[in-house]
Structure 1
Amino acid sequence: MAVFWSTGPVELPGAVRYTLVTDDSPTGRWDVSVALPQAGSRADSGPLPVLYLLDGFLTFLTTAQIAQNTLAFSLGQLRPVAIVGISPAIEDRDELSARRARDLTPTSAAGGYHQGRTPHGTGGADAMLDLISEVIAPRVEPAHGLDSADRGLAGFSLGGLFTCWALVRRPEGFRRFLAVSPSLWWDDHLLLDDRRAPFVTRDAGDVYLAVGEREDSPDRSWPVMPAAMRRSLSGLNMVADLAAFTERLRGRPEVDVRSEVIPDEQHATVWPGAVTRGLVHLYRKEAQAASRSGSLNR
Structure 2
Amino acid sequence: MAAHWSAGPVELPGAVRYTLVTGDGANDRWDVAVALPPAGARTEPLPVLYLLDGFLTFLTTAQIAQNLLAFSLRQLRPVAIVGISPTTGDRGRLTARRPRDLTPTSAAPGYHLGETPYGTGGAGAMLDLIRHVIAPHVEAAHGLDPSDRGLAGFSLSGLFTCWALACRPEGFRRFLAVSPSLWWDDHLLLDRRRAPFAVREASDVYLAVGEREDRPERSWPVMPAAMLRSLAGLDMVADLAAFTERLREAEKVAVRSEVVPDEQHATVWPGAVTRGLLHLYRTDQG
Deviation at 1:254?
Answer: 0.3
Residue in structure 2 matched with residue 53 of structure 1 by the alignment: 51
Matches within 5 A, 1:123-202: 123-202=121-200
Deviation at 1:4?
Answer: 2.8
Aligned counterpart for 2:223 among listed residues 219, 222, 225: 225
Matches within 5 A, 1:230-241: 230-241=228-239
Letter in 1 for 2:273: V
Q: Given the superposition, is the C-alpha separation of residues 259 and 106 from structure 1 closer, same or farther in structure 2, using an over 3 Å criterion? A: same
1:36 aligns with 2:42: no
Q: Distance in 2 between matches of 1:178 and 1:276?
A: 11
Letter in 1 for 2:6: S
Q: Distance in 1 between matches of 2:113 and 2:225?
A: 16
* Per-residue deviation, residues 45-83 of structure 1 (Å, max 9, x unmatched): x20000000000000000000000000000000000000
1:152, 1:176 within 8 Å by CA — same for their partners in 2?
yes
Aligned counterpart for 1:283 among listed residues 252, 276, 281: 281
Q: 238-247 or 225-234: which moved more?
A: 225-234
**TM-score, reference length from structure 2:** 0.98
Deviation at 1:115?
Answer: 6.4
Q: Distance in 2 between matches of 1:279 and 1:235?
A: 31
Residue in structure 2 matched with residue 13 of structure 1 by the alignment: 13
Q: Distance in 1 between matches of 2:109 and 2:6?
A: 49
Residue in structure 1 matched with residue 214 of structure 2 by the alignment: 216
Deviation at 1:122?
Answer: 0.2
How many residue pairs get aligned? The number is 286
Aligned counterpart for 2:240 among listed residues 231, 239, 242: 242
1:167, 1:177 within 8 Å by CA — same for their partners in 2?
yes
Structure 2 spans left out of the alignment, 5+ residues: none
Deviation at 1:116?
Answer: 6.9
Letter in 1 for 2:199: T
2:211, 2:263 within 8 Å by CA — same for their partners in 1?
yes
2:96, 2:114 within 8 Å by CA — same for their partners in 1?
no
* Per-residue deviation, residues 79-117 of structure 1 (Å, max 9, x unmatched): 000000000001212211111110000000123343671
Q: What SS is found at the alignment partner of 1:139?
A: helix
Residue in structure 2 matched with residue 295 of structure 1 by the alignment: none
1:250, 1:257 within 8 Å by CA — same for their partners in 2?
yes
Q: 103-112 or 258-267: which moved more?
A: 103-112
Measured on the aligned residues, the alpha-carbon RMSD in Å equals 1.1
Deviation at 1:10?
Answer: 1.1
1:112, 1:232 within 8 Å by CA — same for their partners in 2?
no
Q: Distance in 2 between matches of 1:115 and 1:80?
A: 38
Residue in structure 1 matched with residue 255 of structure 2 by the alignment: 257
2:77, 2:283 within 8 Å by CA — same for their partners in 1?
yes
Deviation at 1:212?
Answer: 0.2
Residue in structure 2 matched with residue 296 of structure 1 by the alignment: none
Q: What SS is found at the alignment partner of 2:85?
A: strand
Q: Distance in 2 between matches of 1:130 and 1:112?
A: 26
Structure 1 spans left out of the alignment, 5+ residues: 292-298
Residue in structure 2 matched with residue 271 of structure 1 by the alignment: 269
**TM-score, reference length from structure 1:** 0.94
Q: 259-268 or 220-229: which moved more?
A: 220-229
1:113, 1:229 within 8 Å by CA — same for their partners in 2?
no
Residue in structure 1 matched with residue 23 of structure 2 by the alignment: 23
* Per-residue deviation, residues 114-167 of structure 1 (Å, max 9, x unmatched): 367101100000000000000001111010000000000000000000000000
Residue in structure 1 matched with residue 120 of structure 2 by the alignment: 122
Q: Distance in 1 between matches of 2:182 and 2:2?
A: 58
